[in-house]
Amino acid sequence: MNSQPDWAAAAQQFQKTATEQWANAFKSFQGFGAMPQMPSLDSMPMMPSLPPLSFAPEKLQELQQAYMREATELWNQGLTANPSSTDKRFASDAWSHNPVSAFSAAVYLLNARALLGMVEAAETDEKTKSKLRFAVEQWMAASAPSNFLALNAEAQKKAIETKGESIAKGMQNLLHDLQQGHVSMTDESQFEVGRNVATTEGAVVFENELIQLIEYKPLTKTVHERPFLVVPPCINKFYILDLQPENSLVRFLVEQGHRTFVVSWRNPDDSMKNVTWDDYVGKGAIEAIEKVREISGARQINALGFCVGGTILGTALSVLAARGEKPLASATFLTSLLDFSETGILDVFIDEPFVKFREQQMGKGGLMKGQDLASTFSFLRPNDLVWNYVVGNYLKGETPPPFDLLYWNSDSTNLPGPMYAWYLRNTYLENNLIKPGKCTVCGEKVDFGKVDLPVYIYGSREDHIVPIGGAYASTQHLPGKKRFVMGASGHIAGVINPPAKKKRSYWTNDKLPKTHDEWLKGAKEHPGSWWTDWAAWLKPHAGKQVAAPKAYGKGKIKAIEPAPGRYVKAKA
């Protein structure tokens, strides 16, 4: 290895390659959705491009020296080199026992470190660097030697041990997934909505063209006089909150003596291609609130919004406040964004050209396909949620085990184009919801400063969809008495953490300074689930105990069909 690479030329090539990689990533992920049916890049004049990059000579020299030092060491080791055992893709003994595979993995990891080093060395603005980092990480994940049978030592070993059966099974798995249109993360044949997921007993008591409202059967002789309404995200189906009896937040509420209602969003089809954000707020959250009050006879209720459901609920409360109405005694926001100043990795997709493109494409009608949304969210963690299953399903011929959470994750939902385009511009791009009077929804000016009620705000520490700082930011815009709690783990696992499991922990701090970092300095850690803390907070807001209802609905509002209803069973 006597000749050294020209790192100035390498930097120029890196800029060219990175720009191409970002364009390809953008084409693939098209802002919250892979879009294989999109036109070519050349026919899309508003495609974003990376601005010119520059590199400080001393940083390039430092990278060059580090690369040459590690490459020389690797070359001297030859086929005795071993990949890092800390990378689970190459941790198996099969890799260390196969010299060619081990060497290819070690070279891959070296080049990956060099590429990421060049990203960090690039002198550009932070958003461009984030785009660059995302594109390089996607390329790195896709080009790993573990993804190719010719280099994957584990897959080769299994093929030999099974006398080729694993390869045959892998081809069957590939054909199956091509037919169903997505990579299998679990054995989907083992689940059926209403049979072994979403099984808490209840009935649909109201429906319109956008939602079904489910009322659940009480499990206690008495219930709190103020019922509880759950507004789940419309980007996924509600039964993430009711997967199995032992991890169901819905069942937990019912067991705590709350008369519980849940919104089940309809999975949009072409008949809903003109539905707007106003419809989701008005015909969704607001109409659900009104029906729960009508059924229960309660002047006020309690409500919860999860993820985008929290954004919808917060907007609905602002609309109602502008009308002089205060139908809620308290609100809970789980991993929700009202302030979109901090949006994490999703920010790499959002800029003015992209949002304009989406507005022109579907702002006046159309659908954002659910599978496109699901693909993009998976590629936010490509090694864990994409390539891991490509390797297991196709190279090793394995059938992924049954897992209710991953079944739900694969049960995608569409979004109406006008609603989606409005959401992109007014939240992720312009962050208009926190600007008093900037947005008009359902004929009213949005102002969170008028949403004066007790609120419980929860964020997950390792959430990559709603970063913990973004979840905390809601405390700075809602004027009522607030409690903020941080849970361990991520967007879903942090939320779905029943007390009986005695897993993880949560943090509390009664003081609410301006930033989450300041809040965390004074926070106290508690073992177990945040659900117990929330239940204790909610109880005083739920009112006195009254006899549990013996039938669903009230008067002319009667049960339409058993829970979980038709809407949740519709496929995208």
Tens digit of each residue's pLDDT (9 = 90 or more) over 453-510: 999 999 999 999 999 999 999 999 999 999 999 999 999 999 999 999 999 999 999 9
From the list 10, 193, 53, the residue with the least C-alpha distance to 568 is 193
In this predicted structure, what is the pLDDT of residue 17? 55
In this predicted structure, what is the pLDDT of residue 29? 40
Label residue 116 exposed, middle or buried (CB < 10 Å: 0-12, 13-18, 19+): middle
Distance of CA 460 to the CA centre of its chain: 12
Return the sign of the alpha-carbon dihedral for residues 43, 48, 54, 60.
Answer: negative
In this predicted structure, what is the pLDDT of residue 82? 75
Positions of the chain with pLDDT under 50: 1-4, 18, 21-22, 24-48
In this predicted structure, what is the pLDDT of residue 44? 35
Residue type, 304: L
| R_g of the chain, CA atoms, integer Å | 26
Label residue 348 exposed, middle or buried (CB < 10 Å: 0-12, 13-18, 19+): buried
What b-and-e string marks burial along 403-433, b requiring 16 or more CB atoms within 10 Å of the CB?
A: ebbbbbbbbbbbbbbbbbbbbbbbbbbbbeb
E strands, 528-566, in order: 545-547, 561-562
- Tens of pLDDT, residues 232-248: 999 999 999 999 999 99
Per-residue tokens: 234:
């419309």
Distance CA 372, CA 360 (A): 18
Active site residues: 307
Using an 8 Å Cβ cutoff, are 155 and 164 in contact?
A: no
Return the CATH architecture of domain 202-344+433-569.
3-Layer(aba) Sandwich (3.40)
Residue type, 133: R
The residue with tokens 């890092």 is 84
Distance of CA 546 to the CA centre of its chain: 38
Using an 8 Å Cβ cutoff, are 201 and 525 in contact?
A: no
For the chain, the structural domain boundaries read: 7-161, 202-344+433-569
Distance of CA 282 to the CA centre of its chain: 24
**Which phi and psi angles does 214 have, rounded to 5°?**
-100, 130
Distance CA 552, CA 261 (A): 11
Label residue 542 exposed, middle or buried (CB < 10 Å: 0-12, 13-18, 19+): buried
Distance of CA 418 to the CA centre of its chain: 21
Per-residue tokens: 220:
């206690």
User: Which residues on neighbouring strands pair with residue 485, listed in sequence order?
Assistant: 458, 508
Using an 8 Å Cβ cutoff, are 386 and 400 in contact?
A: no
Q: Which residues contact 518 (CB under 8 A, 6 or more apart)?
A: none
Using an 8 Å Cβ cutoff, are 140 and 112 in contact?
A: yes
Distance CA 567, CA 207 (A): 9
Total residue length of the chain: 572
The C-alpha angle 520, 521, 526, rounded to 5 degrees, equals: 60
DSSP for 494-514 reads TTS--GGG--SEEEE-S---S
In this predicted structure, what is the pLDDT of residue 349? 84
DSSP for 366-401 reads -EE-HHHHHHHHHHTSHIIIIIHHHIIIIIS-PPPP
In this predicted structure, what is the pLDDT of residue 1? 44
Using an 8 Å Cβ cutoff, are 316 and 303 in contact?
A: no
My answer on whether omega of the bond before 564 falls inside 30° of 0, hence cis, is: yes
What b-and-e string marks burial along 25-49, b requiring 16 or more CB atoms within 10 Å of the CB?
A: bbbbbbbbbbbeebeeeeebeeebe
In this predicted structure, what is the pLDDT of residue 420? 97
In this predicted structure, what is the pLDDT of residue 345? 86
In this predicted structure, what is the pLDDT of residue 125? 86
